[in-house]
Amino acid sequence: VEIKPNTEFHRILQNTSVTAVILGGSANGAAKVITGNVDTLKALIQEGANLSTSSPAVPIAYTTSFVKDNEVATLQTNSDYVETKVSSYRDGYLTLDHRGAYVARYYIYWDEYGTEIDGTPYVRSRAWEGNGKYRTAHFNTTIQFKGNVRNLRIKLVEKTGLAWEPWRTVYDRSDLPLVRQRTIKNWGTTLWPRVAETVKND
């Protein structure tokens, strides 16, 4: 770029000193150190510009700076992109073990999390097909959940035979995490129901 005399950039160049270390090129200029102004540097570059197979020149590294303030010149740019995260989860199991001397009903709900093909996340609510059915002892079943299941809700009620309290809640929990194996075992009588929960997550 030609810089006209009597300009600010021209005065900066006139007052600029250069120190260079030359690596590579011909043997005459190898490891040569110069100190001078910009014109001296230009002459040295032209002197060693004779490139051949015996005198190759390879740039190792360089930076560009603005002449005005000697700040490193950078290019600010941005681009749109889609970030995709892939996570792997194990399936989980829920075992219901009814051994009580009463009629029981289970209510089980959960949410399935996932991502559409276009990257849009979704949450779908699910319900167990056996919800609300009458269960008597000895009822035992195991429900398998996919690894993307969250917010598991489980409720167990038992029929008391009482007119003022026909159904009594034995177990009621929500926002349960998915684990490898969860077992809910209930026993007892209509007036004294009992329940125990065990979790294995190895």
How buried is 8 (Cβ within 10 angstroms: 0-12 exposed, 13-18 middle, 19+ buried)? exposed
The CA–CA distances, whole Å, from 138 to 3, 101, 112, 135, 187 equal: 96, 9, 30, 8, 10
Residue 144: name the closest of 122, 128, 124 by CA: 128
Q: What is the DSSP letter of 28?
A: T
Q: What is the pLDDT of residues 184-201, one digit of tens each?
A: 999 999 999 999 999 998
Pairwise CA distance, residues 19 & 32, whole Å: 11
Among 16-20, 67-71, 110-114, the least confident range: 16-20
Residue 129: pLDDT over 90: yes
Whose tokens are 């030609």? That residue is 2
The span from the first CA to the last CA of the chain, in angstroms, equals 70
Residue 25: pLDDT over 50: yes
Q: What is the pLDDT of residues 26-76, one digit of tens each?
A: 545 544 555 556 666 666 666 655 656 665 555 556 677 777 788 877 766
pTM for the whole structure = 0.56
**To the nearest whole percent, how much of the chain has pLDDT over 90?**
50
- Tell me the pLDDT of the chain averaged across its residues: 81
Pairwise CA distance, residues 28 & 50, whole Å: 12
Q: What is the DSSP letter of 71?
A: P
Coil vs helix vs strand at 194: strand
Domains of the chain: residue spans and CATH:
1-76 (no CATH), 92-200 (2.60.40.1430)
Q: What are phi and psi of 13, to 5 degrees?
A: -65, -40
Pairwise CA distance, residues 135 & 106, whole Å: 8
User: How confident is the model over 133-149, as a mean pLDDT?
Assistant: 95
Is residue 200 a contact partner of residue 142, using CB atoms and an 8 Å limit?
Answer: no
